[in-house]
Chain A
Amino acid sequence: MKLTRKQKQNVSRVWIFAASALAVVICVFPLYYAILTSLRTGQDLFLPNYLPTTFHWDNYYTALVQNGVGRSLLNSVVVATVTVGACLLVSISGAFALARIRFRGQKGILFTVLCVSMFPQVAVLSGMFELVRFLGLYDSLGALILSYATFSLPFTIWVLTTFMRNIPVELEEAAIVDGASLWVIITRVFMPILGPALVTTGLLAFIGAWNEFMFALTFVLSTENRTVPVAIALLQGASQYELPWGAIMAASVTVTLPIIVLVLIFQKRIVGGLTAGAVKG
């Protein structure tokens, strides 16, 4: 029997809905389950149960206060903010030159920036270790801010260059005719126009710095200077052999929710920023 157009549409609509529902469940389930776990204590923890049963906040207290994840949260905010701020500041002028001015060596610089952004972090690990020690930054947040520039700076340069290329040439020429110097063009014409793009780039770089693990694990020893990923990875329970899953999940949920909220608020921009950096590259 031949289906009518209408019936065909209905069949495909059912498929689409089923697939979407599956995708949504798979995407959200691990976080959902982490939240469930974080609210359970004692024996409850070890019974797989897919609906909320108990609401205990003990795990959050254990993780944030007793295990110092609260302190780590602060460290992470400081490190990521300073890194991103510094990188944006440096890369605005650099990206302007790379995007808007023709000069010898421009292509080479862009290519280098792209290469550095694809560096395996471990390739600079020992050299960076030496540099950090030399500057007296070992076991401090400064070590992380310095080393995070390795991947944040190429990223901000690359994405901002893409954004700046999209500003019409005539706008810059109008400013030149108006007698604006390059510096004025950057600060008073480009930066205000790029405001949203700066937010996007900053947010993406922030997430990158927030999630970094290898440098944070290697350059910081003391518990009070740890960033969140390290704190969570190294979270220990009362006994050495039993991991405190409730507290780990509580810490995980705590560091994840703010990022998720940010991402959802800036959803459109983030998607735009991600693809601006990559698709047009």
Chain B
Amino acid sequence: MNPKSPPMTGVGALPAMVPASRGKRSLQARRSRSAWLLVAPTLILLAGVAGWPLVRTVFYSFTDALLDAPHEYLFVGLANYLEFADGEAYGVLADPVWWRSVRNTLWFTFVSVSMELVLGMALALLMNQKFRGQGLVRTAILVPWAIPTIVTAKMFSWMFHDQYGTINDLLLRVGLIDAPLAWIAEPGLSMWAVVLADVWKTVPFMALMLLAALQMVPSDLYEAARVDGASAWQRFRRITLPLIMPAMIVALIFRTMDALRVFDLIYVLTSNSEATISISGYARNQMVAYQEMGVGSAASVLVFLMVAGVAAVFLRIGRFSEPREKQS
């Protein structure tokens, strides 16, 4: 009958023994078993669309496959990365364009993320004030964020147009320049054009992140500091900055990771010119434009390693600055 019939009949008597067969699992055990069922679709899909392609990319990086016939390949070892033959170096790591793209990407990342941080902080502090028209500012800064990157690129390439662009026109009118500048074509300027477009588009994200963090700082802390006679700068330096630091680091990580893999903005704004090409752009060029699937994969793997390396450094920093903010 019921395997778990009562071990005693008298009401009030203490049960003498624990039934031998339990046959059931505890709540926690049941839940953790179901957990795997629930995450299974996610894991399978992730493995399919991210894990497997990544593995295949690594695989192809050791072959000489071409894009139009990926199944005809020979293993070439590390030749796609670096190979010496007849005293000459070949492979991605020997390609000056690759190193140019690495420099471009790092410079772009550093300059644009720094500018975003400074401007984003200024904008966040501004939005954290109480004033009429505050809502308008908050709405307006969502506009750059909402505009697709490609559209941003096109809008800026129109505004940066050397003959008809408004930026040259405005600068001429103000008198900052005497003759129109070739923003897109001039190698020394084109990177700045890319940076400015990127900053315009992503400052809002930074500002919103920082604003959210600012709003979590309890206002009585400022009042206490004011009573203690701290100046505005001291309040920012000693109270605001330490308290929003964790959120700031997270926002920085997000933006840096994004900037390191930049592709579309440069592809459209400066047509992947050598002065601005990014590592992602380089890898895609090898693969699609030159049909070199093997070389392109090798470059992709290098991009991946670079991004992963920077992420690891950030995680380290994040762990140090965030003593133990427990994740529940």
Listed in ascending order, the chain A residues whose CB lies under 8 Å from chain B are: 13, 16-17, 19-20, 23-24, 26-28, 30-31, 33-34, 37, 45-48, 50, 90-91, 93-94, 96-98, 101-104, 106, 109, 112-113, 115-116, 118-131, 133, 146-147, 149-150, 153-154, 157, 165, 176, 182, 186, 207, 210-211, 213-214, 217-218, 228-230, 232-233, 245, 248-249, 252, 255-256, 259-260, 262-264, 267, 270-271, 274-275, 278-279, 281
Contacts and interface: CB of A to CB of B under 8 A. Distances in A.
Nearest to A210: B148
A278 B202 CA distance: 15
Q: Is the interface of A mostly helix, strand, loop or mixed?
A: helix
B57 A19 contact: no
Given A153-B45, A249-B154, A264 B139 contact: yes
Contact of B46 (A103, A153, A274): A153
B316 interface: no
B208 A274 contact: yes
Contacts of A150: 49-50, 53
B133 interface: yes
A243 to B, nearest CB: 9
Given A127-B59, A232-B154, 20 more contacts: A31-B147, A48-B169, A116-B50, A118-B257, A120-B280, A123-B307, A125-B57, A125-B284, A125-B296, A126-B53, A127-B60, A129-B67, A131-B48, A186-B38, A214-B264, A217-B267, A256-B148, A264-B142, A270-B142, A278-B254
B148 A157 contact: no
B263 interface: yes
Contacts of A126: 53, 56-57, 60, 70, 287, 293, 296-297, 300
A185 to B, nearest CB: 10
Interface size class of B (residues with CB under 8 A): 35 or more
Contacts of B28: 102
B126 interface: yes
25 contacts: A30-B156, A93-B41, A94-B41, A97-B38, A101-B32, A102-B32, A103-B31, A103-B32, A120-B307, A122-B279, A122-B284, A124-B50, A124-B57, A125-B53, A131-B49, A176-B27, A210-B148, A214-B264, A229-B150, A249-B158, A252-B151, A267-B138, A271-B212, A278-B250, A279-B209
Contact of A165 (B149, B267, B328): B328
Contacts of B143: 27-28, 31, 260
Contacts of B166: 33, 48, 50
B144 interface: yes
B131 A17 contact: yes
Contacts of B150: 211, 213, 228-230, 232-233
A146 B151 CA distance: 24
Interface in B3-53: 27-28, 31-32, 34-36, 38-39, 41-43, 45-46, 48-50, 52-53
A260 B146 contact: yes
Contacts, number: 291
A252 B53 contact: no
B123 interface: yes
Q: Is the interface of B mostly helix, strand, loop or mixed?
A: helix
Contacts of B151: 34, 229, 232, 252, 255-256
From B142, B145, B148, name the one whose CB has the most chain A CB atoms within 10 angstroms: B148
B42 A90 contact: yes
B54 A124 contact: yes
Contacts of A154: 46, 50
A98 B33 CA distance: 13
A26 B155 CA distance: 13
Interface in B111-143: 122-123, 126, 129, 131, 133-134, 136-143
Nearest to B54: A124
B164 interface: yes
Contacts of A211: 148-150
Contacts of A109: 39, 43
Contacts of B27: 176
Given A16-B131, A214-B280, A252-B154, A130 B56 contact: yes
A97 B260 CA distance: 32
A116 B54 CA distance: 10
From A103, A125, A270, name the one whose CB has the most chain B CB atoms within 10 angstroms: A125
Contacts of A33: 155, 158-159, 166
Contacts of B250: 278-279, 281
